Amino acid sequence: MTFDPTRNKDLPTSEERRTFLKLAGTAGFTTAAVAAGAGVLGVQPAEAQTRAEEAEREKAAEHVMSIATAYRLGTTRTFPVMQLQLKENIQNATRGKVYVRLVPDGALGAGTELAEKVQNGTIQAGQHSVANFAPFASTVDLVNIPYWCGDNQQFVNLVTSDVWKKEVDAKVAKNGFQVLLYQPVDPRTVSLRRGLREEPVRTPEDIRGLKFRVPGSKILAQLYDMLGANPTPIAWGETPSALRQGVADALDPNVMGLNLFGFKDIVSHVTFARTVPDAGVYSCNIAWLEQLDSDTREAVEWGAYLTFLQNLSQVPASREYAMNEMAAAGVQFYSPTEEEMAQWKEKAGAQRPEWDSVKKDLVGSLELFDKLNEAANTPSKYYVHDA
């Protein structure tokens, strides 16, 4: 049995989905998406106005920019996807020269599939995890080495630094991408299935021997092995049933992702272990971007930058909503003390020699990793709240 995210009460009802599909069929996907995001589905005068406005904007534009995500409209409330904000910011910054056609809700796929479609020009831009850049520039996978850039502020310091742009973004560009914006979404957690134990996880000793669900990342598997758990690769769609059946005991998405995908009735305790960032990115096909005139290209980038700033401020609001929803379902939260956090870092942190070969493979040398580490811990001009 696979996980059905439509069980989440925050997702559209059957009637809302029928209205959405009807509007999409008659006026196009972006019109329906904007109507959904504005909360006017089923209100015919408002839908008609939205249809007319979107049609007028698209007709007047010189360029159409399709941006695809795996998330439905409205998700930003509990997970800072920011797709409507990015659409409006780019359209406004370009003074209407670029019309953004949103393709949300996984209509064109998710993750690496979206990254591939951006690379080959099927779509102009897409949202996916930072880790999904790994097949195109393996260096980005270094963010999954634990306890050096896991906090939101460290991650933002890192990805806005000159050394990151030179050593990582440049390699991404050689593979056909330009990063429009990075998205801090909160670090990964340690979350336990219901019925496993009555106390939260406080130290690595508390997860010794637990069957810890991991995705396909070898680095994350090594992390939980070093922490004493039993890394158990399980496909995302099979994870809820695996937890219910005891095939897995724990998992690590950030709290916003846990709430978004319906885990509030499956997990009992969430510990903010802050091992690695669980972050996203909007990538753009660089060939499409470079064929724009310089003023329009700069305006697209400015619209993305405005969205980046909005994302930074949205993180705590989305987190609080997610935590409120999960707490109402009986989930308990725990933040380790400084002494307890020191145990996590001592057990599996980036300073351990077990990570040296990984660092060399990903960035070429320990010296370059040290420069990136320094960048992650050097305050930037951007502030983002940490849990």
Q: How confident is the model at residue 51 (pLDDT cuts 50, 70, 90)?
A: confident
Query: Residue 87 is encoded by which pair of tokens?
Result: 């659409």
- End position of a domain, from candidates 269, 298, 315: 315
In a domain, 384, yes or no: no
Q: In the structure encoding, which two tokens stand for residue 48, read together?
A: 């008609």
110: confidence class by pLDDT, cuts 50, 70, 90: confident
pLDDT at 33 over 90: no
Q: Which one is predicted more confidently, 350 or 32?
A: 350
Q: Return the CATH number at 21.
A: 3.40.190.170
Other Cβ atoms closer than 10 A to 167: 20
Q: What residue has token string 């059905």?
A: 4
Per-residue pLDDT band for 162 (boundaries 50, 70, 90) equals: very high
Q: Quick one: DSSP state of residue 149?
A: S
Asked if pLDDT for residue 350 goes beyond 60, the answer is: yes
| C-alpha distances in Å from residue 384, one per residue of 185, 207, 280, 284, 311 | 10, 29, 15, 24, 9
Residue 187: helix, strand or coil by DSSP? strand
C-alpha span between 21 and 277 (Å, rounded): 35
Residue 249 pLDDT exceeds 90: yes
Count of positions (residues) in the chain: 387
Same domain flag for 44 and 116:
yes
User: If we measure between CA atoms, which residue out of 185, 165, 151, 182 comes closest to residue 281?
Assistant: 182
State the pLDDT confidence band at 19, using cuts at 50, 70 and 90: low
One domain for residues 229 and 302:
no
pLDDT at 27 over 60: no
Neighbours of 263 (CB within 10 A): 24
Report the 10 Å Cβ neighbour count for 212.
24
CB contact at 8 A, 82 and 183: yes
Number of domains in the chain: 2
Q: Do 202 and 174 have their domain in common? A: no
Instruction: Tell me, yes or no, whether 179 and 196 share the same domain.
Output: no
Same domain, 238 and 177: no
10 pLDDT higher than 60: no
Residue 75's φ and ψ, nearest 5 degrees, are: -65, -30
Burial of 158 (0-12, 13-18, 19+ CB in 10 A): buried
Residue 40 lies in a domain: yes
Q: What is the pLDDT of residues 279-338, one digit of tens each?
A: 999 999 999 999 999 999 999 999 999 999 999 999 999 999 999 999 999 999 999 999
Strand arrangement of the beta sheet that strand 177-183 belongs to? 98-103, 63-68, 125-129, 280-285, 177-183
Same structural domain, 50 and 75: yes
Say whether 180 sits in a helix, a strand or coil.
strand
Shared-domain flag, residues 95 and 207:
no
**94: in domain:** yes
Residue 57 pLDDT class (50, 70, 90 cuts) = very high
CA distance 65 to 180: 13
Q: Whole-angstrom Cα distance, residue 316 to residue 254?
A: 12
Query: The domain containing residue 222 runs over which residues?
Result: 190-277+323-376
Q: Is the pLDDT of residue 21 over 60?
A: no
Phi, psi torsion values for 216, nearest 5 degrees? -80, 5
Nearest by Cα to 295 from 303, 307, 286, 284: 303
Give the DSSP per-residue string, 216-283.
Answer: S-HHHHHHHHHTT-EEEE--GGGHHHHHHTTS--EE---HHHHHHTTGGGTEEEEE----SB--EEEE
Q: Decide: helix, strand or coil at residue 110.
A: coil
* Dist. CA 111–CA 132, nearest whole Å: 6
Q: Tell me, yes or no, whether 254 and 290 share the same domain.
A: no
Q: Band of the pLDDT at 47, cuts 50, 70, 90? A: low
Supply the pLDDT for residue 207: 98
Give a yes or no: residue 385 inside a domain. no
pLDDT of residue 379: 97
pTM (two decimals): 0.86
The answer on 147 and 219 residing in a single domain is no
pLDDT averaged over the chain?
90
Do 256 and 332 belong to one domain?
yes
Tell me: pLDDT of 14 over 60. Answer: no
Task: Please report the pLDDT score of residue 284 as a whole number.
Answer: 98
